Structure 1
Amino acid sequence: MKQFAAWCQTVGRRVMPAASQTVTAYLSHLKRTPRKRTGRPYGPATMDRIIASIRSSHRAAGYEPPDTMGARKVVAGYREELSLAKDPAAVSKKAAPADRTVLREALAHLDRTTLVGKRDAALMLLGHAIASRGSELAPLDWPASFTDLPEGGFSVRVYRKKRKKWQDVEVVPDPDADLCTVTAVRDLAEALAHEGHTSGPLFMRIDQWGYMGAEMTRNGEPAGDPSGRISINGASDIVSRSIHRTGMPGKWTSHSLRRGFVKSARDAKVDIVDIGRHGGWDDRSKALIGYIDEEDSRGERNPLAKISRAGSEEQDDTE
């Protein structure tokens, strides 16, 4: 919004409430203007986020958001141009799915005897278990967000930001000790209690010397949650750092845990409806359908693979 406001000032246009033509002109400007850092214009995915930012900023300021149909047409045309030119910028860089296989490898590289190792393991396993975004993991409190279940697991009260509703997600013990979310979370809570932290944020900032909730500054000013809670970006950094240690290629963020849950569930042949309701997706969610389509197009669920196997078996019977 700061960049949009600065551009509006240079061309003599109103920032708020912005006219639809102003937003369209701004996106056209971005499409043809290389950035100093990269020498290239923003990609279509970033432009989509810029449009969303302009609209949400208007709402926050009490204004009716501008009509952005023209701006979106500019982005759509730009995306098509890049696609025809086979430019990688035309393809959105989705987070890679961190399923159980990926998590097992990443956890093997953690020292789970340390407070940092316990935190990172609990964050990744819990994020996968409740199919959460980083924005849903960071706010969790211990023990307030958790309720013990009779069978030994717990229920996590998580706020699904996209749907603007609370959900209680049950997490049960895993027979695989290395991948047991219940054990990892309780180990972390015990370690935090040993440090005198018995209630409040479950996932705390921990500095390189092992101090919890260390004060953060930016340009000499205090930064970060004063309670010591990690930020959403901090949650993504933990996932990215942990999985990159394995050498596995891919874009790894906290959203990898949410996508990884879908992959793990489909590998276990879990029904799509059950996957969606556990992860807080709407029954008509296009995002979930997209994840499912990607997983179902691979391996044993690929129709061509099944047809090929059936044809091979048929040939064997004939012979």
Structure 2
Amino acid sequence: MSDRDLEVVDAELLDDHLPEVRKDRAPALSQPEDDPDAWLSDQAKEDVNAGIADGTRAGYKGDMDRFADWCAAVGRRPMPAASQTVTEYMSYLKRTPRPRTGRPYGPRSMDRIIASIRSAHRAAGHKPPDTMGARKVVVGYRAELANANDPAAEPRKASPADRTVLRAALAELDRTTLAGKRDAALMLLGHALASRGSELVPLDWPGNFTEQPDGGFKVRVYRKKRKIWQNVPVVLDPEPELCAVRAVRALVAALADEGHTEGALFLRMDRWGYLAPPMYRHGKPIGDPDGRMTIEAASDIVQRSIERTGLPGRWRSHSSRRGFVKSARQARVDIVRIGRHGGWKDNSTALIGYVDEDDAEGEHNPLAQIGQAAVQRDEEQQ
């Protein structure tokens, strides 16, 4: 998972899930306090660990590895780090191009790195360093980028794959093939559930699906951000080519022809269409042993499918979730109903962030609505 796809979560990570600071990187220091109650049982560590997303934990570990390497190179102590060390590190990241991208870290990634450093200190029993100076570096950096009209100042969001986009993408798929059926079902069900890739990929057939009298089904989805299960009704769509129910049933039937009748719904395939091919790295097997595809693979499918249309944008698995909001807004669905269908809280500021600037055009524009109301009042008074 790339750093730009991780979220800033200032979580309390446990010391056995963080990189050890090697002795050749910095002098070993004793714990600042000796509290006889400052320990956790193995069971408690497991319980805390279960509450931390895998991607967050992996991202924080990588951040601390790189921070420790930099400290070793400049002769500073990574833990417990001085506040000036963290500030200096942010200044270094702001000015230093990364080998992979040729650009420095963006402000959002730097916010996450600060959270990683603080979290690592708490996990190791140290008081987190004061990061006011480091955060001011990031605030100033973000302002510089904004004044220069640099896109890096803005969060990298997936483009919304609404019904118009999906219709164009599906027209480019060969839905007579197993891979085409899978890709169509993945995009349409992701839109219907307003799901993240991390919520879509774990779905099992028939385990997460319950047939409904209206011909549709309810899908039991685990909303990872809120840590809750939700039963989402998916109904038949009047446009068959955009119907998630029909697409899923077509995929299930095709999988049954291949002998796969239960378990992971979205399976990896090789270029020849073979299901769940074994994968190896350095001679060792990798990937889900049952053939379930990864979140990254789901994003690749969405990106590849929509890019065939020539439509500009940043297309990822999250495009389906954002696209659902856009489709629902275009259909004048109440924002509360949109949020409850997609698993947002009623007061979610994140949901408001999904409402694009172009949503304020045309009939949704507040000025246009004010004008229409004024005209209506004048007509009523006449």
> Are 1:287 and 2:347 an aligned pair?
no
Q: How much has 1:197 moved relative to structure 2?
A: 0.9
User: TM-score if structure 1 supplies the norm length?
Assistant: 0.89
Do the aligned residues in 2 keep the contact of 1:17 with 1:63 (CA within 8 Å)?
Answer: no
Once the two structures are superposed, residues 247-305 of structure 1 have per-residue CA deviations (whole angstroms, 9 ceiling, x without a partner) of 00001111110000000111111111111111011122111112236354122201234
Asked if residue 130 in structure 1 is aligned to residue 190 in structure 2, the reply is: no
Matching of residues 180-259 of structure 1 within 5 Å: 180-259=243-322
Q: Let me know the Cα RMSD of the aligned residues.
A: 2.6
1:130-157 Cα offsets, whole Å, 9 max, x none, are: 1001111111111111111121111111
Counterpart contact for 1:215–1:222, Cα < 8 Å: yes
Give SS of 1:292's match.
coil
Please tell me the residue identity of whatever aligns with 1:127.
G
Structure 1: distance between partners of 2:299 and 2:331? 26
Residue 191 and residue 20 in structure 1: after superposition, are their counterparts in 2 closer, same or farther (change >3 A)? farther
- Decide which structure has the larger Cα Rg and report it: 2
Within-5 A mapping of 1:1-319: 1=62, 2-15=65-78, 21-54=84-117, 66=128, 68-292=131-355, 294=357, 296-306=359-369
Report the counterpart of residue 53 of structure 2 in structure 1.
none
Residues 98 and 203 (structure 1), Cα distance of their counterparts in 2 relative to 1, 3 Å cut: same
- Quick one: which amino acid aligns to residue 280 of structure 1? G
How far apart in 2 are the matches of 1:261 and 1:133?
11
Q: Aligned equivalents of 1:265 and 1:93: distance in 2? A: 22
Note if contact 1:56-1:65 (Cα within 8 Å) is conserved in structure 2.
no
What do the CA deviations read for 1:108-142 (whole angstroms, capped 9, x no partner)? 11011111000000000000001001111111111
What is the identity, as a one-letter code, of the residue corresponding to 2:219?
V
Using the TM superposition, give the Cα deviation of residue 307 of structure 1 relative to its aligned residue in structure 2, in angstroms. Answer: 5.3
Distance in 2 of aligned mates of 1:64 and 1:294: 44
Instruction: Give how far 1:87 is off.
Output: 2.0
Contact 1:263 1:295 in 2 (8 A): no
Distance 1:107 1:65, change over 3 A: farther
1:64 to partner: Cα distance:
7.4
Residue 85 (structure 1) shift = 2.0
Which secondary structure does the structure 2 equivalent of 1:147 belong to? strand
Change (3 A) 1:54 1:239: farther
Q: Structure 2: how far apart are the matches of 1:24 and 1:140?
A: 43
Whichever residue aligns with residue 180 of structure 1, its letter is C
Cα distance between partner residues in 2 of 1:168 and 1:18: 46
1:164, 1:189 → 2: CA distance? 28
Q: Structure 2: which amino acid aligns with 1:178?
A: E
Alpha-carbon distance change, 62 to 242 in structure 1, aligned in 2, over 3 angstroms: farther
Q: Is contact 1:266-1:295 (8 Å) kept?
A: no
Counterpart contact for 1:19–1:66, Cα < 8 Å: no
Q: CA deviation at 1:239?
A: 0.5
Partner of 2:12: none
* AA partner of residue 261 (structure 1): F
Query: Residue deviations 1:160-206, cap 9 Å, x none?
Result: 11111111111111111011111111111111111111111100001
CA distance 1:28–1:143, change in 2 (3 Å): same
Aligned residues: 315
Paired residues of 1:140 and 1:158 also in contact (CA < 8 A): yes
Letter in 2 for 1:283: D
The higher-RCO structure (CA 8 Å, 6+ apart) is 1
Quick one: structure 1 residues 16 and 133, their matched pair in 2 at CA, closer, same or farther if it must change by over 3 Å?
Answer: farther
Change (3 A) 1:285 1:21: farther
Partner of 1:159, secondary structure, is strand
Distance 2:172 2:127 in 1: 47
